[in-house]
Structure 1
Amino acid sequence: MPRILVLYYSSYGHVRDMALAAAEGARSVPGARVDIRRIPETVPEAVRRSAGYIADDTPEAAPADLADYDGLLLGTPTRFGMMAGQVKQFLDQAGGLWARNALVGKVAGVFASTGSQHGGHEATLLSTQIPLQHFGMLIAGLPYSFAGQTSRDGIIGGAPYGAGTIAGADGALRPTETDLAGARFQGAHVAELAARLALGERMREAA
Structure 2
Amino acid sequence: MNRLVMPHALRFPFALLLPAILAIAGCGVSSSAPDEAPPLEGATIGADFTLTGEDGTPVSWNDFAGRYRIVYFGYAFCPDICPTDVQRAMAGLKAFEAQEPALGATIQPLFISIDPARDTPQVLTEFTANFHPRLIGLTGETTTLEQVAKDFGTTFSRGETQPGGGYLMNHYGYTYLFGPDGEPITMLPTDQGAEAVTAELTKWVR
Structure 2 length as normaliser, TM-score? 0.34
Greater strand proportion: 2
Q: Which has the higher contact order (CA 8 A, sep 6+)?
A: 2
Greater helix proportion: 1
